Amino acid sequence: MSAPTILLTPTILLTLGRLPKGLDVARSFAAAGCRVVVAEPFSRHLVGASRAVAKSVVVRPPSLGKRAYLEDLARVVREEGVDWVIPISEETMHVTFLRELLPDHVTIFTPPPAALLKLYDKHGFTHLCAEYGVRAPETHRLGTPEAKALAAAHKVVVKPLHSCAGRGVRVLEAGAPLPADDVPCVVQRFVEGQIFSSCAIAREGRILGNILYRGAMFQGSVAIVFERVEDQRLTDWITRFVAASGHTGFISFDLIQDAAGEVWGIECNPRTTSGIHFFDNPTIARAVLEGAPATPRAERRLQQFYSVLTALSGVMFRRGYFAVLRQLLGTKDVTFDASDPMPALTMIWTTWPIIRLAMRKGVPFGEVATLDVGWFEGEEAP
């Protein structure tokens, strides 16, 4: 992909506004002098409360029809004079098909559909690892003889072919019966070790910035406190994969490092993750628009304040209460910015539709936040 001409005041369309990571992206592009527009199925959302956003537009979610969703986005691009489309989260797998409806001068910061969906597919990803010469655990489709043999001999992880935030993930001991294959899943050999995550910005296989981090506190399976780390073996694995793929866009990985220090890739998320909070904010937009380096911020530990506050209320005056309280009071929040305070101050109101759904289902916020924009096995191109 050749570098597009940089306009003096480009208009940027973010395709999701409900998550804190979208707020980092919006603030960065606004600081770079861009006009930021957000397309979001919810009528109110976190990023929309930011002074970085010039306009928010309500669009139909992919869950109500993929083609309708893309037509709504294409309309926003035309009406707002959009130059760059920047996907944020799970909607990325839909947005990649938008290029068929847009003029050539509009840049979508993600690979074409065939390349993108192969990365997101948890089975296809392991085949790419083998092709690119990096490690991944043995993985087979649920329902195959190979999966059955793997589960009989080893501890395994069973997870949906397309999922996020830990939804539907099960760990089974060796010899335990596999679940029914009514939902397309993979069976992956369990690797004992430390779990790490990453978030990178890449152009044509060249990494412009990469963050390594791990969860330091969790709510269910979703991290709510993050700690930035450095490890050359993890970096080398990611660098080799991204270079071989020629990837352009955001790209993130979940990795396990075993006791011997070997790195295993367990899945790829070709989008942003919470690691984006660790970038020095102005450098995000410069990396996307100009191919300049994206560098880390000074903080090595960050939290999602309201999620930690919820965790605190759950252990009120019980064992672990003071540890959570110290975390809450001593760690910088990913949302609050003194120069742009409204997203943090109004967060309960702007995210109430998701909070209400999480309460009704009895699961963490992160597990339901993208249900209406996700991509699942069996779906066809719009």
What pLDDT was estimated at residue 315?
A: 46
Whether the predicted pLDDT of 304 surpasses 80: no
Q: Which residues pair with 194 in a beta bridge?
A: 257
Q: Averaged over 145-157, what is the pLDDT?
A: 96
Can you give the length of the chain in residues?
A: 382
| Residue 132 covered by a domain | no
pLDDT of residue 312: 44
Report whether pLDDT(61) > 90: yes
Average pLDDT for 197-203: 97
pLDDT tens digits, one per residue of 210-264: 999 997 666 655 666 789 999 999 999 999 999 999 999 999 999 999 999 999 9
Question: Is position 365 within any domain?
Answer: no
Q: Helix (H, G, I), strand (E, B), or coil: what is residue 235?
A: helix
Q: Which range marks the domain in which residue 159 is found?
A: 138-189
Say if strands 139-141 and 249-257 run parallel, antiparallel, or are unpaired. unpaired
Query: Which of 128, 104, 78, 109 lies closest to 14 in space, CA to CA?
Result: 109
Is residue 372 one of the residues assigned to a domain? no
Report the C-alpha gap between 77 and 81 in whole angstroms: 6
Share of the chain above pLDDT 90, in %: 71
Instruction: Give the C-alpha distances (Å, rounded to integers) separating 71 from 37, 68, 97, 266, 370.
Output: 16, 5, 11, 34, 20
| Range list of H helices, 191-250 | 232-245
Our measurement of the distance from residue 31's CA atom to the centroid of its chain's CA atoms, rounded to an integer in Å, reads: 22
Task: Tell whether 53 is covered by a domain.
Answer: no
Task: Answer whether residue 214 is part of any domain.
Answer: no
Q: What is the tally of structural domains in the chain?
A: 1
What percentage of the chain carries pLDDT values higher than 70? 86
| Reported confidence tier of residue 318, pLDDT bands at 50, 70, 90 | low
Kindly state whether residue 150 falls inside one of the protein's structural domains: yes
The residue that leads in pLDDT, 153 or 3, is 153
pLDDT digits (tens, 9 = 90+) for 323-363: 655 665 667 888 989 999 999 999 889 988 888 887 787 77
More confident residue, 313 or 130: 130
- Examine residue 170 and state whether it is found in any structural domain, yes or no: yes
Q: Is residue 275 part of a domain?
A: no
Q: Per residue in 22-54, pLDDT tens?
A: 999 999 999 999 999 999 999 999 999 999 999
Do the Cβ atoms of 257 and 196 come closer than 8 Å?
A: yes
